[in-house]
Each structure stands twice: as C-alpha cells, then as structure tokens.
C-alpha cells in the first residue's frame, strides 16, 4: 500500500534564515535519508514560520512516524510525542517531543495508487504548495463540502491535489501539469449536490492573509525548498 502524507512544522521566532540555509546545505542528504525510510515524491515548502512537507510512503502501515532530524530542533518548535519509543524515523528514538505533526487529509482528488497507475504518473514540471487559514467556526462546513465533492466526482480536475489541515491551517499540494487519472475509483456518494459556484461558496470559509500579494489573499504561495 502506498500512502500520501502531509506534515506540518513551525519555525521558532527568528530561525527562518538559518533553517533555510541548513536545509539548502543538507538537501541531498535529507532526501537520501527520507527515501531510505520509504518516502517518495518528496517536497518541502516554506512560507514565513510555516513549513509543510508532502511525501508518499511505500508500504504504509502503522509503523514509523516521520519527523525532522533532531539536529533541526534549534530551528523548529516542539510538539508532544505521537508514537511510542522506537517508532520514530528521521530523528532520535525515545525523544520526548516531535518537530513535525501529521496533517489530516480533508480532501484528495486522487489516491496514491491512482497516481501510480499506468499512464497517470508523470514527472511534474512544477510542484506547488499553498497555505490558507480557515475560520474555525466554518471548519466543519468546509470539510463537509470537500468530502462531498471528493466522493461525488473523484479525479475531477487534478488527481495530485490534496489538502491537509493542522487546526485551522490548510496546506494544498498539487502538481502541474494537472494529473488526469486514467484509472478512477468509484466515489462513495451517488448524489450530485456539490455547488456549481464552488469558489464563491468556499470564499467565506477563509480568514484572509492581510499581508498577501494580489491574488493570494486566500491561498498564499509557499516556496519549495526541497
């Protein structure tokens, strides 16, 4: 089984420049280490204090929990541990904290197996990460609409698109050109209730970025650093 994974980390105040410099120096070693853990299609994005990772894990199960190596703890905020001792990857075993948290998949236009199907997966020209903030009071509405669309019309626009959440923070990963799935799964819903005016219905769910450049008030672009 191949699993799509999203992870979120947050930089400590004033650590952005030093973190990016270290990642740049160690990018090849980081990728090699992550691939040895069974990760593929790895991309790491950053925007201000926010750091998000997309990857696909081979033979996914209830085994290892991915994390940044321990040498990055001076740059990243610490979170409570998520796995029993000895279950972690990317860092020291039995650590009393973690540096990244898994994001909850709240929408995917395609599954990893579909992306790997013959004629579907390609070498993307661009891997894109964007960041948004939900209004907490409207989070359930946003998730409802996205599940409905996901299961009414799977693979409808870009099979590589996936959205994860860490609280009210949303991370959207997608590849260009868009992946049109040659093999599409059967959705779990037989209804047809997704709104035709999708973007107009979604807009009120967001807490806009006040300092974003034009066109990124809702979904802010992130820079790919790995």
Q: Where are the chain's structural domains? A: 3-102, 104-221
Check: CB of residue 226 under 8 Å from CB of residue 25. no
Q: What is the pLDDT of residue 78?
A: 96
The better pLDDT of the pair 78, 58 is held by: 78
Q: What residues have CB less than 8 Å from 87, skipping those under 6 apart?
A: 63, 64, 65
The better pLDDT of the pair 219, 187 is held by: 219
From the list 60, 41, 51, the residue with the least C-alpha distance to 20 is: 51
pLDDT band of 181, cuts 50, 70, 90: low
Assign domain 104-221 one CATH number from 3.50.70, 3.30.1330, 2.20.25, 3.30.70: 3.30.70
pLDDT band of 15, cuts 50, 70, 90: very high
Q: What is the pLDDT of residue 108?
A: 93
pLDDT tens string 83-123: 554 455 555 455 689 999 999 999 998 887 776 664 556 67
pTM over 0.95: no
pLDDT band of 155, cuts 50, 70, 90: confident
Strand partners for 162:
108, 173
The better pLDDT of the pair 195, 182 is held by: 195
Q: What Å distances lie between residue 137 and 194, 205, 216, CA to CA?
A: 21, 9, 22
DSSP state of 78: -
């Amino acid at each position: 089984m191949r699993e799509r994974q999203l992870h979120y980390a947050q930089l400590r105040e004033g650590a952005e420049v030093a973190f990016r410099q270290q990642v740049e120096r160690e990018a090849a070693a980081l990728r090699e280490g992550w691939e040895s853990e069974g990760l593929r299609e790895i991309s790491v994005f950053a925007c201000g204090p926010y750091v998000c990772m997309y990857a696909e894990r081979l033979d996914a199960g209830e085994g290892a929990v991915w994390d940044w190596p321990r040498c990055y703890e001076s740059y990243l905020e610490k979170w409570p541990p998520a796995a029993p001792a000895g279950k972690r990857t990317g860092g020291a075993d039995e650590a009393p904290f973690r540096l990244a948290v898994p994001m909850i998949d709240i929408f995917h236009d395609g599954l990893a197996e579909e992306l790997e199907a013959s004629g579907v997966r390609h070498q993307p020209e661009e891997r894109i990460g964007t960041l948004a903030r939900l209004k907490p009071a409207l989070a359930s509405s946003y998730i409802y609409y996205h599940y409905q669309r996901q299961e009414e019309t799977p693979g409808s626009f870009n099979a590589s698109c996936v959205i994860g959440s860490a609280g009210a923070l949303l991370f959207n990963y997608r590849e260009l050109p868009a992946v049109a799935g040659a093999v599409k799964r059967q959705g779990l819903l037989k209804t047809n209730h997704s709104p035709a005016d999708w973007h107009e219905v979604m807009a009120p769910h967001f807490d806009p970025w006040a300092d974003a450049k034009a066109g990124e008030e809702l979904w802010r672009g992130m820079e790919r650093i790995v």
